[in-house]
Amino acid sequence: MPFFGPVDGVDLLTRLIAFVVAITIHEFMHAYTAYRLGDPTAARLGRITLNPVAHFDPLGFIFLLLILFGIPALAWGKPVPFNPGNFRDPKRGAMLVAAAGPLSNLVQAAVFVVPLWVAPAAVAAAPPIVQSLLYALVGLNLALAAFNMVPIPPLDGHKILTGLLPDFWYPVLAPLERYGFALLLLVIFVPGFLGINLLGPMIGPPLELLNRLVFPS
């Protein structure tokens, strides 16, 4: 997750809850989709569950706390392993498993925004913690969807792009996964030291569009 801004009090708690919910469902959908497509790897590891503990990554959680206290960083859940060789069509299967994550975030945002559309007066009269939690659940899920669609490994967008491009590109792009996290850090932090923001133009426009479409005006 990209830098989410400093928070305190109620917002700190609700954004923490929102992150746990969003990431748990995101990783669950990766695991469930892989299983339905014929790969039992994640199932054998106990990842087809909505228990947040199964998707907990200690280092990713520490970085989440840094984000919530206003320190720019990345946060993540435990990646879901899968073996494309178990799919009938490895290229298409890997793409569908990857797409399940961001799609789940969009669905979550669509569900949690319903009270803001159908009962705005009730939301306005609700305790601050309820209002904060609703906005955090919607906003964070939209941010995760936009961020994960960036076509840089190990983000889901890279697998989706690899699956959509002609077969010629598959042996070129797929091996980049092994260097995924290092590539992502290079793209984020090296340009940052030079005063260049590469991710902003990739995440900002789709996130702004999603916010306009999902949140009531």
Active site residues: 27
Distance CA 76, CA 178 (A): 17
Identify the DSSP state of 160: H
Query: Assign residue 105 a region: left if phi > 0, alpha if psi is -120 to 50, beta otherwise?
Result: alpha
Helices in 87-198 by DSSP H: which ranges? 90-112, 114-118, 120-125, 128-148, 156-164, 170-173, 180-193
For 159, the token pair is: 């697998």
The helix/strand/coil state of 112 is helix
> Distance between CA atoms of 43 and 182, rounded to whole angstroms?
28
Q: Are 29 and 101 in contact (CB under 8 A)?
A: yes
Q: How far apart are CA 125 and CA 9, in angstroms?
A: 19
